[in-house]
Amino acid sequence: MFHAIYYASKTLNEAQSNYTTTEKELLAVVFVFDKSRSYLIGTKVIIDTDYAIIKYLIAKKDAKPCLIPWVLLLQGFHLEVKDRKEIENQVADHLSRLEKRKRKMMSY
């Protein structure tokens, strides 16, 4: 049985808002693991994502230099990354896009 152990949110700063989609997705994972480290150490953690490249990045040995600290942090955990089809992940997708829609509406 799965249940929430931690709720968090983050607003991207100006530099982070210029990150590529890959960097933003990885930043979200790193943020959660950094904030909830004490809950996650020593347990198996499953990351459900529709962004399959995260699985590749975490296992990659020759990541971009700016991503290496993040990859090293994540390698300290027992992770399993599961690919979710976009249709199965609509709630998360909707929540992640709310702010973008709000900004577009305010700019008119």
The whole-number pLDDT of residue 54 equals 76
- Phi, psi of 9, rounded to the nearest 5 degrees: -145, 160
**pLDDT above 80 (res 4):** no
Which three-class secondary structure string do you get for 29-47?
Answer: HHHHHHHCHHHHCCCEEEE
Higher pLDDT, 14 or 89: 14
pLDDT exceeds 60 at position 95: no
Q: Give the pair of three-digit tokens for residue 36.
A: 């909830």
Average pLDDT, the chain: 77
- More reliable by pLDDT, 101 or 27: 27
Most confident of 29-33, 62-66, 94-98: 29-33
* Cα maximum dimension of the chain: 49
Q: What local confidence, expressed as pLDDT, does residue 83 receive?
A: 79
Crossing angle (nearest 10°) for helices 68-75 and 21-35: 40
- The residue with greater pLDDT, 91 or 14, is 14
Average pLDDT over residues 48-54: 76
Q: And the tokens for 8?
A: 């968090």
